[in-house]
């Protein structure tokens, strides 16, 4: 997955962190907490991730289908799609890095089944189908229409990876969801409004 | 001025403290503040507050596996550590490498030994739940005949609990419960509305099972005193195991070490693996410790008038077992023969969960670093169930569903995406925190032939759950299920995991150098001093006589400061 880009938090996010830390210092102004002691805490927000050297286990065609499936499952709305955040590349990496060879094979199988079904039912490969038809294809798997229970299980596993990859990406965690890097304290009750999104910042992922 | 970090010191110290975790940090603080020249000996690397928290604040997208543990890490480096709930790609640097830290288990048994071998030890990664033991806990062995009687009672610990709580900062409510004495606490964290609702429901149906907010070693509201320590209020990130530059939770680095350092009386020897203690038979005193360098494997010795073993239950026990002499062929201060026996952990092997209707218009903000807590309600024999002894507490909490709970839900496209971005159903879960009985058969010993890379005999574990623990977990699952159903929860399900879960995973190892009144069946007296050797103390969890149900670290702190106070007075009287 050599070209999945790993970025530091956006400058917007960084500013909000620094604001939080500033607020924290304000709170502690009566103490002997110095700016340097807390502000050094800001340094770690600028990190870079280690890059992986795994070889991609998918063929080019499989990657194209996978990318397209990512787009169908989590499309672009007012926030980026799973394909926009390169979920397909993350999945190719994660399957090799963290999963079993059986699980990788299952994903390959369902990708292949999706393409075969697309060709037999709609006369074209999955990536060439209209997006509405693509949605119908994936719904057919979940409804086991033209697909069997094993297909449905493999797809459910893949879907879990897409969801995980999307909501742990920077855009997924911070734009599609609300992200509190430094919440500033705990409140047991806040009202839900039409704008409320669930928290993208979790203690464990 | 003494050089702070100096592993090549040839000085004679007043006190050698082996270990730098929760107990080692307290011992070093208390001794140095009393003017004693102290050497803190740590087997692992130096970890400096703030500077050495490399993953703090980083979002999951900054990790190539999004914080998940890769196959290579799991298989080659951390097969045991990676089973710990707190282990992931963002915390792995605070766990020991299994490759370097081998141990063995008796055939047909298993034990998970979770390690934190670096300055600060497991004080950096602990779960921070902090509860006092009650007289019911300290009287349990005497009351029902399992294990030996604790030589101390609540009144012996109470002032020391207060002392450590005020410095460390323990958040909690003053609940006024006999089975769970109140701490000298900072304000409690808030419950969310579903939790408050369930407090009332449980009170209606189970008046003897109060549910309280979990007490934890966090500055819920830092006092000016805490701020003068360089610590500020908890920001509710709940990413504590990466380290906290706000110093908002108690760790050696945030709370005890700065005070020990400030005295100018402290020297720290990192990368110093204690091999054994040096014993002088003529004077019946420990003179020092033999150390193997963590990195280049060279040998050296440190000398001191008193030795405090604060190396964790199993670490201290391993050192003692490996310190053999003509007088103590089975391990130092082991004339009783119980050293290594009565190993306990906590039994966290039942859980329950369910969905709570309503409250759709409410959410919460921040990641609360504690949950709810139902203290043990079977805390004396008259309250025991008929088919097993002792009891369990329950931890847990209420939260709303998110993309993790919805990831396998049916649906494709924008609607599916949108559903995952909304707060989902309210879910309430609890898990058991059961007592494990002290049993002679649950033993850790030195392996007769296998050694680690420092030439130290490996530990060999023979530890199993007994029927008492199994029956307790079955009962807990049933009781919790009934509680949730009576409280109106839907889709209630419970799980018992004890049949495929090894001891060790609660990371509350206890009891292998237990206290007691009688030197024939215990290693330590009521002040954590070995019966056999006046200048040797063990103040970590090895000293426990029974596990009780409460998380042990707060008691480790109280035992340690009490032992230091006693030791300092004995030194002044020239009895040590």
What would the pLDDT profile of A164-184 be if each residue is shown by its tens digit?
999 999 999 999 999 999 999
Better pLDDT: B228 or A51: B228
pTM score, whole prediction? 0.93
Are the beta carbons of A188 and B227 separated by less than 8 Å? Answer: no
- Strand order of the β-sheet with B104-105 is B104-105, B457-462, B443-451
* CB nearest to A52's CB, from B64, B231, B238: B64
Residue found by looking up tokens 């599609």 in the block: A176
Q: Does any CB of chain A come closer than 8 Å to the CB of residue B422? A: yes
Contact status, residue B425 vs residue B400, Cβ threshold 8 Å: yes
For B242, nearest residue in chain A (alpha carbons): A203
Q: How far is A91 from chain B (nearest CA, A)?
A: 10
Sign of the alpha-carbon dihedral angle for B376, B382, B388, B390: positive
Cβ contact B222:A28 at 8 Å: yes
Q: How many CA atoms lie within 13 A of B467 on its CB side?
A: 2
Nearest CA distance, B527 vs chain A (angstrom): 36
- Kindly determine whether residue B64 and residue A50, on different chains, have CB atoms separated by under 8 Å: yes
Cβ atoms of residues A52 and A1 within 8 Å: yes
At residue A189, φ and ψ (nearest 5 deg) are -150, 120
Angstroms from B59 CA to nearest CA on chain A:
8
pLDDT digits (tens, 9 = 90+) for B371-426: 999 999 999 999 999 999 999 999 999 999 999 999 999 999 999 999 999 999 99
Q: Cα separations (Å) of B415 from B200, B408, B418?
A: 37, 14, 5
Spans of chain B below 50 pLDDT? none
Q: How far apart are the first and last CA of chain A?
A: 20
In whole angstroms, what is the distance from residue B145 CA to residue B469 CA?
16
Q: Is B258 on the interface with A (CB under 8 A)?
A: no
CB atoms closer than 10 angstroms to residue B204: 10
Mutation test of the interface with chain B: which of A7, A28, A149, choosing the one with the most B Cβ atoms within 10 A? A28
B402 at A interface, C-beta within 8 A: yes
List the single best residue of B224, B227, B417 to mutate versus A (max A Cβ within 10 A).
B417
Tell me whether B223 touches chain A (CB under 8 Å): no
Task: Tokens 């298989």: give the residue.
Answer: B75
DSSP string, B265-308: -EEEE-SEEEEEEEEETTTTEEEEEEEEETTT--EEEEEEEEEE
Shortest distance, CA A163 to any CA of chain B (angstroms): 6
> Rounded to an integer, what is the distance from CA B510 to the centroid of its chain?
9
d(CA B150, CA B545): 6
Measured between CA atoms, the residue of chain B closest to residue A72 is B413
Q: Is the model's pLDDT at A1 over the cut of 60?
A: no
Return the closest-CA partner of residue B425 out of B410, B440, B405: B405
Neighbours of A22 (CB within 10 A): 14
**Interface residue B235 vs chain A (CB under 8 A):** yes
Residues of B in contact with A89 (CB under 8 A): none
Q: What is the pLDDT of residue B30?
A: 99
CB contact under 8 A, A197 and B422: yes
Give the whole-angstrom CA distance, residue B223 versus residue B219. Answer: 8
The string of DSSP codes covering B81-142 is GGGSTT-STTTGGGS--TTTS--EE-TT---------BTTGGGTT---B-----HHHHHHHH
The confidence score (pLDDT) of residue B1 equals: 52
Q: Is B76 on the interface with A (CB under 8 A)?
A: no
Of the partner residues A37, A164, A198, the one whose CB lies closest to the CB of residue B230: A37
Query: How far apart, in whole angstroms, are the C-alpha atoms of residue B57 and residue B36?
Result: 38
Residue A32 CB: number of other CB atoms within 10 A?
A: 11
- CA dihedral B106→B110→B111→B112, nearest 10 degrees, is 140
Q: Which of these, A52, A117, A94, A198, lies nearest to B400 by C-alpha position? A: A198
In angstroms, rounded to a whole number, what is the distance separating the alpha carbons of residues A153 and B410? 12
ipTM above 0.85, yes or no: yes
Min Cα distance B419 → chain A (Å) is 10
Q: Does position A26 have pLDDT exceeding 80, yes or no?
A: no
Q: Which of B231, B238, B252 is nearest to B122 (CA)?
A: B252
**Pseudo-torsion of CA B160, B165, B171, B177, nearest 10°?**
10
Whether B537 contacts B309, CB under 8 Å: yes
How many CB atoms neighbour CB A155 within 10 A?
A: 24
Please tell me the distance in Å from A29's CA to the nearest CA on chain B.
9
Q: What is the pLDDT of residue A54?
A: 63
**B466 token code pair:** 């007994």
- Give the pLDDT score at A41: 33
What three-state secondary structure class fits A193? coil
Q: What is the pLDDT of residue A55?
A: 83
Q: Are the CB atoms for B524 and B550 separated by under 8 Å? A: no
Q: What gap in Å lies between CA B211 and CA B194, rounded to an integer?
A: 12
Question: From the candidates B171, B241, B366, B397, which should be mutated to test the interface with A, based on the most A CB atoms within 10 A?
Answer: B366
**pLDDT above 90 as % of chain A:** 73
């Amino acid at each position: 997955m050599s070209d999945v880009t790993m970025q530091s938090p956006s400058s917007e996010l960084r500013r909000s962190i620094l604001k939080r830390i500033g607020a924290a210092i304000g709170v502690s102004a009566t103490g002997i907490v110095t700016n340097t002691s807390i502000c050094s805490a800001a340094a770690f927000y600028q990190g870079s991730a280690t890059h992986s050297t795994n070889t991609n286990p998918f063929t080019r065609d499989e990657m194209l289908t996978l990318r397209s499936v990512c787009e169908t499952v989590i499309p672009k709305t007012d926030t980026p799609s799973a394909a926009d955040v390169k979920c397909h590349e993350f999945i190719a990496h994660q399957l090799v890095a963290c999963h079993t060879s059986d699980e990788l094979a299952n994903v390959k199988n369902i990708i292949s089944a999706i393409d075969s079904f697309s060709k037999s039912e709609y006369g074209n490969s999955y990536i060439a189908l209209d997006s509405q038809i693509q949605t119908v294809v994936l719904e057919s798997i979940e409804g086991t229409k033209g697909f069997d229970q094993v297909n449905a299980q493999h797809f459910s596993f893949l879907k879990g990876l897409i969801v995980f990859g999307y909501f742990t990406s920077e855009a997924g965690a911070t734009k599609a969801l609300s992200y509190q890097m430094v919440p500033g304290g705990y409140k047991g009750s806040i009202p839900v409004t039409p704008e409320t999104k669930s928290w993208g910042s979790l203690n464990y992922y | 001025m003494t050089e702070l970090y100096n592993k090549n010191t040839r000085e004679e110290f007043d006190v050698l403290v082996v270990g730098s975790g929760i107990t080692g940090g307290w011992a070093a603080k208390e001794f140095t503040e009393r003017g004693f020249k102290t050497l803190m000996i740590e087997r692992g690397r130096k970890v400096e507050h703030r500077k050495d928290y490399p993953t703090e604040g980083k979002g999951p997208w900054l990790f190539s596996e999004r914080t998940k543990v890769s196959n290579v890490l799991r298989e080659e480096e951390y097969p045991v550590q990676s089973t710990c709930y707190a282990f992931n790609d963002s915390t792995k640097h605070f766990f020991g490498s299994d490759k370097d830290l081998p141990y063995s288990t008796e055939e047909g048994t298993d034990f998970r030994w979770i390690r934190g071998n670096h300055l600060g030890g497991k004080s950096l990664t602990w779960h921070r739940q902090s509860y006092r033991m009650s007289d019911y806990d300290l009287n349990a062995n005497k009351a029902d005949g399992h294990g030996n009687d604790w030589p101390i009672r609540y009144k012996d610990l109470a002032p020391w609990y207060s002392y450590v709580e005020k410095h460390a900062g323990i958040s909690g409510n003053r609940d006024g419960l006999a089975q769970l004495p109140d701490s000298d606490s900072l304000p409690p964290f808030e419950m969310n509305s579903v939790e408050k609702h369930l407090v009332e429901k449980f009170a209606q149906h189970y008046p003897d099972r109060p549910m309280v907010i979990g007490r934890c070693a966090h500055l819920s509201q830092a006092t000016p005193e805490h701020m003068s320590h360089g610590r500020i209020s908890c920001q509710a990130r709940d990413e504590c195991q990466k380290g906290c530059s706000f110093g908002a939770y108690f760790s050696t680095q945030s709370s005890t070490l700065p005070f020990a350092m400030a005295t100018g009386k402290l020297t720290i020897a990192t990368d110093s693996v204690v091999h054994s203690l040096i014993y002088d038979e003529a004077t019946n005193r420990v003179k020092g410790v033999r150390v193997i360098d963590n990195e280049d494997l060279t040998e050296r010795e440190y000398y001191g008038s008193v030795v405090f073993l604060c190396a964790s239950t199993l670490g201290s026990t391993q050192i003692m077992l490996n310190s053999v002499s003509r007088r103590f062929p089975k391990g130092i201060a082991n004339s009783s023969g119980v050293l290594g026996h009565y190993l306990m952990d906590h039994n966290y092997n039942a859980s329950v969960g369910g969905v709570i209707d309503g409250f759709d218009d409410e959410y919460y903000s921040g990641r609360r670093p504690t949950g709810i807590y139902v203290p043990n309600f079977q805390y004396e024999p008259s309250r025991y169930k008929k088919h097993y002894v002792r009891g369990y507490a329950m931890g847990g909490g209420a939260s709303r569903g998110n993309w993790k709970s919805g990831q396998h839900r049916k649906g494709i496209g924008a609607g599916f995406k949108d559903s995952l971005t909304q707060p989902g159903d309210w879910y309430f879960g609890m898990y058991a925190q059961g007592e494990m009985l002290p049993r002679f058969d649950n033993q850790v010993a030195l392996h007769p032939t296998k050694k680690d890379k420092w030439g130290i005999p490996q530990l060999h574990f023979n530890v199993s759950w007994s029927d008492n623990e199994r029956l307790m977990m079955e009962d807990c699952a049933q009781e919790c299920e009934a509680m949730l159903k009576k409280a109106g929860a839907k889709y209630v399900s419970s799980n018992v995991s004890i049949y495929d879960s090894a001891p060790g995973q609660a990371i509350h190892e206890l009891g292998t150098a237990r206290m007691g009144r009688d030197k024939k069946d215990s290693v330590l007296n009521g002040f954590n001093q070995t019966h056999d050797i006046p200048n040797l103390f063990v103040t970590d969890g090895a000293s426990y006589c029974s596990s009780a149900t409460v998380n042990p670290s707060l008691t480790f702190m109280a035992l340690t400061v009490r032992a230091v106070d006693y030791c300092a007075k004995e030194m002044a009287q020239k009895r040590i």
